[in-house]
Amino acid sequence: MSNRFAQVVAIGFALAAAGAAAQSYPAKPVRIIVPFPPVGAADLLTRTIGQKLSEAWGQAIIVDNRPGVGGNFGVEIVAKAAPDGYTAVMAAVTTNAIGMSTYTKLGYDLERDLAPVVLAGNVPHILVIHPSLPARNVREIIALGKARPGQLAFASQGQGTLSHLEQEMLKQMGGFTALHVPYKGSAPGLADLIPGNVQLFFDSIPSSLPHVKSGRLRAIGVASSKRSPVLPEVPAISESLKGFEADSWFGIMMPAGTPREIIVKFNAEAQKVLATQDVKERLLSQGGVPAGGAPELLAERIKADIAKWGKVVRAAGVKIE
């Protein structure tokens, strides 16, 4: 048998094995790692999708929260996992776009070690402020920042997170300075914002919405390009600051080398789940918008946001060891 013929035979066997694996997939529980704490937007989205996938496949979907290192700890676990389709990650703009520019060292290479599966959804952030702050819109926030250079204090969900970079982009576009106070997630940031220890916070809608409705916080603007259906009276920041857009998207990824047939099968089932009325309603009630599309759509989104946020990171001089 020639070497060439042997190679062809080996490839044929490998393709046949991959096809058989895809047909029987999933034959055991699938673990989806959420690289953030429980209760947040990523956790909600993963559990919503996971429940429906479990019902469709008759297999358990295990949601495994692995926060740490700005979300990169959980992503690294998946990047180094076996590429068999049984370990995935709910990736986010923070871990899979911003992190590529903010961290000087990562334990994985995004393009080499991870494969896009499906863009799951967008859970926009809103700019919330303490009611004592004399501002009713973004223009007034910018004016206040210019009148009080370096005196306003922004909370964030952590150094190098989307919540941090949104305020950096606002300061760059608005031409003012302010203090950045990083926290470990939404809860501790809100705990200091509500009593007025800090004045502003780009936060996810699910965690801030109850405080906005109670009047303890004031919502100034939605960070995505469109208004949120749960806060239709709150304008998008882009309505008064043209070009400001910060989508807090989430997408499922698997280790590079996962058989294409498995990725396609997972993508197709996830899109069915995202299109169901009850999933749409559940996400919309929390301010989220379901997405979908081919794996390539997520790949394109990651590439575009790496370029976009890289400019903001460099201008702000943000670096994390």
Domains of the chain in start order, with CATH, are: 3-123+248-316 (3.40.190.150), 125-239 (3.40.190.10)
pLDDT band at 8 (very low <50, low <70, confident <90, very high): very low
pLDDT given at position 320: 82
Residue 163 near residue 201 (C-beta atoms within 8 A): yes
Cis amide bond preceding 26, omega within 30: yes
Residue showing tokens 């070497």: 3
Q: For the chain, what percent of residues have pLDDT higher than 90? A: 67
pLDDT given at position 15: 47
pTM: 0.85
Paired tokens of 180: 């950045």
pLDDT given at position 9: 45
Q: pLDDT digit string (tens) for 108-132?
A: 887 789 999 999 999 889 999 999 9
pLDDT band at 80 (very low <50, low <70, confident <90, very high): very high
In DSSP terms, 204 is beta-bridged to: 125
Paired tokens of 50: 């996971």
pLDDT at 14 over 60: no
Mean pLDDT score, 218-240? 93
Residue 200 near residue 129 (C-beta atoms within 8 A): yes
Residues 6 or more apart whose Cβ sits within 8 Å of residue 209: 230, 231, 286, 287
